Structure 1
């Protein structure tokens, strides 16, 4: 019952009722990634391309889409990762969780949340002042 209520009233807890209906009616399962996200395609978007979508395994977190699937989702390639002809690029890094807003987020030197001192400015930059 809790899952049904979440699907009716929230969009960030996985698929909504609308997505479930659209997937049932138009969706063709293309594959699944290592994190359990399931990818679908079907129908046409406003530009005439095949519509593609993902149903997340857990909260809707777009940074959980691996590079190969990201390219397929955004029509950068027509070859989905489960295809036999798919080959990951050598420069593609494995997925890393988005740490923004957490205690493990990147905090450069000089940040209010970092104890390090800000690096001094060098070079030919002169800060603007009203009297100059």
Structure 2
């Protein structure tokens, strides 16, 4: 019962009731990634292409989609990563989750979050002043 209420009242945790109904009526399961996200296709979008969607395992976070699935989701390729004819490129890196908001987030030199100081202003800058 709790799972039904969560799906009915939240959009960020797994699938909603509308997504469940659409998947049941039109969805054809294409595959699953290493994070447990499940990918579907079926029906047509306004441009006439086959509609593709993902049901996240847990919270909906687009940064949890690996590179290969991202290309398939955005119609960059018609071959899903589960197909035996799929071949990853040698330049593709392994997936990394989005680190924003964590202790591992990128903090450039001088960032207040990194505890650093901004570089001193040099003498080659003149502040703008309005002419009276």
Hey, what's the Cα distance between the residues in 1 that align with 2:42 and 2:96?
29
**Residue 129 in 1 paired to residue 128 in 2?**
yes
Match of 1:45 in 2: 45
Q: Which residue of 2 aligns with 1:60?
A: 60
TM-score normalised by structure 1 residue count: 0.89
Pairs within 5 Å for 1:3-82: 3-82=3-82
Give a deviation string over 1:32-89, Cα, whole Å, max 9, x none.
1111111000000011000000011111011010000000000000010011111111
Distance 1:2 1:89, change over 3 A: same
Unaligned regions of 5+ residues in structure 1, if any?
none
| 1:119 Cα deviation from its structure 2 partner | 4.5
Over 3 Å off, 4+ runs: 117-122, 125-128
More displaced, 105-114 or 60-69?
Answer: 105-114
Counterpart in the other structure of 1:94: 94
The CA deviation at 1:117 is 3.2
Query: Please, what TM-score do these two structures have when normalized by structure 2?
Result: 0.89
Find the counterpart in structure 2 of residue 107 from structure 1: 107
Instruction: Give the CA RMSD over aligned residues.
Output: 1.9
Query: How far, CA to CA, are the matches of 1:87 and 1:121 in structure 2?
Result: 50
Other structure's SS at 2:112 match: coil
Q: Where does structure 2 lack aligned partners over 5 or more consecutive residues?
A: none
SS in structure 2 of the partner of residue 113 of structure 1: helix
Deviation at 1:128, TM superposition (A): 5.0
